[in-house]
Amino acid sequence: MELSISSRLLNTSSAAAATALLKSKPRVHNRHTSIPLLPLKHPFSPLTLKQMSNNSQSTLSCSSLPQNNPSSPSTASGRIGEVKRVTKETNVWVKINLDGTGVANSSTSIPFLDHMLDQLASHGLFDVHVKATGDIHIDDHHTNEDVALALGTALLQSLGDRKGINRFGDFSAPLDEALIHVSLDLSGRPHLSYDLNIPTARVGTYDTQLVEHFFQSLVNTSGMTLHIRQLAGKNSHHIIEATFKAFARALRQATEYDPRRLGTIPSSKGVLSRS
């Protein structure tokens, strides 16, 4: 900064004062409060902004980033159900994690059923593990049935007392020309309403009559009200696969937590049971 003083001013008796003025430093008033940014410790942690004013401190947090919901029950290890069912006809082991990431690991000796269980895991974001052996030299009926019975029991275990969940799920899934609507209620009351018109008797080696029997068996042990409606479809594979996808999405909705529920049971009776 450069400051000039006229010679007239320097010739006056106040020259000394002018000299002092030249040597003095101009004062600059900073009217802005500095806002230091704290380093981001983790790429998924909330960005924290601290504003210092006098001796007080305030904290602002970006609520749009993932945060724990204190009102929901802890899912650190997931809601897991595990069942082993052994009969003279089959040997079945099932494990399901409702809070999984879509891991699918199924081996039932029925290729098309394995494919459908993969859809359940992928679209429901459940971890589904199924190992089954059975008398498939006769047909697939007993293995198909017992896998569904075990899966329903594992689902029942993983739900526990059903506190805080949405309870209801509803989804329509298209697959090319097929469109299937599934609506369900984790009410504790088993009921299946099934309306699929599958045009062929088999998909690969899988008997398409076993689709209804699969869902009836699952409903019976899980305590679920389930409605399945076919809105469109001509291809048997598409109809069945769209059904499993819609079921997975509806079940995902129903098992997820409602943040407004605050961990209470979603029933005016205060209890959800199988009876």
What one-letter code names the amino acid at 6?
A: S
The answer to whether the beta carbons of residues 75 and 69 sit under 8 Å apart is no
Does pLDDT of 39 surpass 70?
no
What pLDDT score does 77 carry?
Answer: 78
pLDDT at residue 51, rounded to an integer? 40
Tokens of 135: 């008398």
Name the pLDDT band for 274 (thresholds 50, 70, 90). low
C-alpha–C-alpha distance, residues 101 and 129, integer Å: 13
Share of the chain above pLDDT 70, in %: 70
pLDDT of residue 205: 95
Residues 226 and 183: their CA atoms lie apart, in Å, by 6
Alpha helices in the chain (DSSP H): 7-10, 15-23, 111-124, 141-159, 210-222, 236-255
CB-neighbour burial class of residue 227 (10 A; exposed 0-12, middle 13-18, buried 19+): middle
Task: Give residue 23's pLDDT.
Answer: 55
pLDDT in tens, 107-132: 999 999 999 999 999 999 999 999 99
Q: pLDDT class for 27, splitting at 50, 70, 90?
A: low
Domain ranges of the chain: 80-255
Amino acid type, 122:
S
Distance (Å, whole) CA 32 – CA 199: 75
State the pairing for strand pair 225-232/191-195. Answer: parallel
Largest CA-CA distance found in the chain, in angstroms, rounded: 123
Q: Are 117 and 105 in contact (CB under 8 A)?
A: no
What tokens does 25 get?
Answer: 């430093």
Most confident of 41-50, 129-138, 258-267: 129-138
Q: Is 204 left (phi over 0), alpha (psi -120 to 50) or beta?
A: left
The pLDDT of residue 10 is above 50: no
Rg (CA), the chain: 33
Report CA dihedral (221, 226, 232, 236) to the nearest 10 degrees: 0
- What is the predicted pLDDT for the residue at 19? 52
Alpha-carbon distance of 154 to 36, in angstroms, equals: 51
- Cα–Cα distance measured from residue 39 to residue 31, given in angstroms and rounded to the nearest whole number: 25
In the chain, DSSP finds a helix count (H) and a strand count (E) of 6, 12
How much is the pLDDT for 2? 46
Q: Chain-wide mean pLDDT for the chain?
A: 81
Strands 80-86 and 90-97: antiparallel
pLDDT of residue 76: 58
pLDDT of residue 142: 98
Choose the CATH number for 80-255 among 3.40.718.10, 2.40.50.140, 1.10.540.10, 3.30.230.40: 3.30.230.40
In degrees rounded to 5, what are phi and psi of residue 67?
-140, 155
